[in-house]
Amino acid sequence: MLNLTSRRAFAVAGAVLALSVSAQPDYAGSESIFAPIPWASHDEVRLASGAPGSAYWQQRADYTINVTLDEENTSLSGSLHCTYTNNSKDPLRYIWLNLEQNAFKPESIGTRAMLPNVWWRVPPDFEGGFDLGQAQVDGQDVDVLVYDAVGKINLPEPLGPGESLDLSMEFSMVIPPRGRLGMYEGEDGTVFELAHWFPNVAVYDDVHGWNILPHQGDGEFYTNFGDYDVSITVPADHIVAGAGELQNPDEVLTDQQLELLEKARHSTETISIRSVDEIGEDRPEGTKTWKFRAENVRTFAFATSRAFAWDAAIAGEDRPVLCQAFYPREAMPLWSDEAVQFARHTINFYSEWIHEYPWSTATNVNGIVGGMEYPTIVFCSEQRNRRGLFGVTDHEFGHEWFPMMVNSDERRHAWMDEGFNTFINHYSGEAFFGRGNARSRGGAMGIARQMNADPRPQPIMTFPDRIRNNELGFLAYGKPGYGMQLLRDYILGPERFDEAFREYVRRWAFKSPTPEDFFRTMEDAAGYDLAWFWRGWFYENGVLDQAIGRVHAEPRRGVVNVVVSNNERLVMPVVMAIEYDDGTEERRELPVEAWARADEFPVSWDSGGRTIVRIEIDPDHVLPDIDRDNNVYENEDFEVDDEWDDGDSEQEDLDERDPRNVPSTRSKTKSSSN
């Protein structure tokens, strides 16, 4: 806290009121936080505006998969047929596969490079990975060259532009006990949650060519869009929750379940399709095959168990998305009371704010997975805490927009889905619980504390598998999420931000943007140069420290001169709250561009004869300022300085230097504030 009340202090301040030499290098200099960012050159594939161009392309992979659960041996075995279409202009002599299950092999890069306390680490004696059978391309046998969690197939003939190939292969895997998939042992049976359970063709794009970063754990997924027809054979007493739409309900459901499912398709109230009381009533022998179809999705996940209760309702009469919940007895009563309605809120809120939900189902499964997202289906483990279940449900279903719809590269840029999702979750929580009552991953003080940690966290742009231990939550979720809040509520304003953000989603729905595409789109659609924000918040790891440097006030002459300082690398606009001795209050703002040429900036105004009692920078405490003590000036004895000899000439010099020193028009009394 700053106290400048003596005449001598004011005199010293006045003598050095002129602008300091900027610690920010020249505006156009490469080291300036305001300098243009040297992004990759644009072309007709990705435009300078951040939009996909007329030549934009992406590959497509459509799958037909048959898979069988071996419950006794906790394993899956199956066969897949993939039609892979080359929409690029490049002939492809080979294709690469993602083999994510191989990350669970003891000798994998992920296992050996993983720190011991990572949440998804499996027991050290677990022998995971894919066992691959014979593969064929267009009917010809081919070898799969396995390198850790990726595989390479050399093609019999190059795949030309616009051509497709048919890939067939058999596979099997032992189900890991936990991670982003796993098994929950409940009172009535095991809940199996299955994801990244089949080999899939990796992404070939215009940015990196073949994306061959292996799955190591923290970096999640980046896959192609396609249609999935999946047949899942399980014990006959199982209920299966799958991505997309169930195609053969008449073959796998009872007449009563069919009737209740149809009722749920017309109800916003939760309908119990299979109650907890029905679990274990009917134990038919043999197996059943459940068939699902999911269209225009980037992968396929499912869950199966004899222990499932099943509830459903539609999101709304004008939004007939079937919101479903599958859960074991242990999740009662929270899941039966809340799970479907939480899903309804999420689907409706983000559809109305960001972009319409594009699929016909939204399914939540309770099992061992703490929280994980896949197209149209999510896994959430919370069974007791209402706010906890809302938070994880809202977060995982929020991922249906990022990255299930806007298909960013999670292996490289976790913040483009986790950070965006953390951001939108804040407003969804406020809408549900009321403003100020939503849980957050850290307010301004918490963000500032983490930004200023020793050692400093890495930049947000760090690949997730290269982020230091315990920093992933901050760099992928907390910091980018809070930065987006600042951009919306403090820098651009909600209306301007929302229009630009919706334009980003509109442009890139069912396509694959890069960080630069997002940055450029936001600038293009909002009409504002944000290089300083992208560089400071995302590319670098600097901190923010705004301060009141010097104060000179002559209330009898109406003169107020305040020098505001920016003491660190990060820059933000300035908001000052001024309190006067007559009880009035006003706010004055300084645009972020003030810091383009100097680290100190003078702000001058006419106090109208009032004496300043207090000045505070960032009075709403929304900025992650690492030193709030220097944000406050207090004039404890209201001393009036009438002996300032050269204030007029100094003020004239200041006004000539910069025309932005103009009085604010915003003023209000303390008694009328709210």
Going from the N-terminus, what domains does the chain have, and what CATH number goes with each?
7-30+545-672 (no CATH), 57-222 (2.60.40), 225-407 (3.30.2010.30)
Q: What is the reported pLDDT for 41?
A: 84
- Specify burial of residue 520 (Cβ count, 10 A radius: 0-12, 13-18, 19+): buried
Whether the CA torsion 23, 25, 31, 35 is positive or negative: it is positive
Average pLDDT on 417-438 reads 92
- Kindly give the residue spans of alpha helices, DSSP state H, lying in 107-160: 109-113
Average pLDDT on 531-535 reads 98
Q: What is the reported pLDDT for 668?
A: 35
Please name which of 324, 251, 242, 311 lies closest in space to residue 287, comparing C-alpha atoms: 251
Average pLDDT on 115-119 reads 59
pLDDT band at 10 (very low <50, low <70, confident <90, very high): very low
Q: What is the reported pLDDT for 657?
A: 33
The three-class DSSP label of residue 414 is: coil
Greater model confidence, 533 or 29: 533
Both structure tokens of 669: 């009394």
Q: What is the reported pLDDT for 654?
A: 35
Average pLDDT on 22-46 reads 75
Distances in Å between the Cα of 390 and the Cα atoms of 272, 307, 385, 427, 473 are: 20, 23, 9, 13, 19
Q: pLDDT by residue (tens digit) across 210-225?
A: 999 888 877 789 999 9
Average pLDDT on 629-656 reads 56
Task: Give the angle subtended at the CA of 194 by the CAs of 272 and 358, to the nearest 5°.
Answer: 65
CA dist., res. 389 & res. 376, Å (int): 18
pLDDT band at 660 (very low <50, low <70, confident <90, very high): very low
Q: What is the reported pLDDT for 65?
A: 98
- Specify burial of residue 540 (Cβ count, 10 A radius: 0-12, 13-18, 19+): middle
Q: pLDDT by residue (tens digit) across 541-551?
A: 999 999 999 99
Q: What is the reported pLDDT for 8?
A: 32
Report the Cα 518 to chain-centroid distance in Å: 13
Both structure tokens of 381: 């483990």
Greater model confidence, 666 or 484: 484
Please name which of 245, 275, 277 lies closest in space to residue 260, comparing C-alpha atoms: 275
Q: Which residue has the tokens 């294709």?
A: 95
Average pLDDT, the chain: 89
Give yes or no for residue 117 having a pLDDT over 70: no
Give yes or no for residue 669 having a pLDDT over 90: no
Q: What is the reported pLDDT for 85?
A: 98
Give yes or no for residue 437 having a pLDDT over 90: no
Task: Give the angle subtended at the CA of 299 by the CAs of 149 and 124, to the nearest 5°.
Answer: 35
Greater model confidence, 559 or 112: 559
- At residue 564, φ and ψ (nearest 5 deg) are -100, 140
Q: What is the reported pLDDT for 659?
A: 32
Distances in Å between the Cα of 454 and the Cα atoms of 415, 458, 541, 624, 668 are: 22, 11, 12, 16, 42
Give yes or no for residue 29 having a pLDDT over 70: no
Average pLDDT on 355-368 reads 98
Give pTM, 2 decimals.
0.89
Q: Helix 515-526 vs helix 494-508: angle between axes, to the nearest 10 degrees?
A: 130
Average pLDDT on 576-585 reads 96
Average pLDDT on 89-114 reads 89
Q: What is the reported pLDDT for 661?
A: 32
Q: What is the reported pLDDT for 650?
A: 40
Give yes or no for residue 369 having a pLDDT over 70: yes
Q: What is the reported pLDDT for 656?
A: 36
Average pLDDT on 390-405 reads 98
- Cβ–Cβ under 8 Å, residues 7 and 639: yes
Q: pLDDT by residue (tens digit) across 312-359?
A: 999 999 999 999 999 999 999 999 999 999 999 999 999 999 999 999
Give yes or no for residue 575 having a pLDDT over 70: yes
> Which of 5-19, 132-146, 296-310 is the least confident region?
5-19
Give residues with Cβ within 8 angstroms of 247, minimum separation 6.
229, 291, 292, 293
Classify residue 225 by its DSSP letter.
Answer: B
Q: What is the reported pLDDT for 118?
A: 61
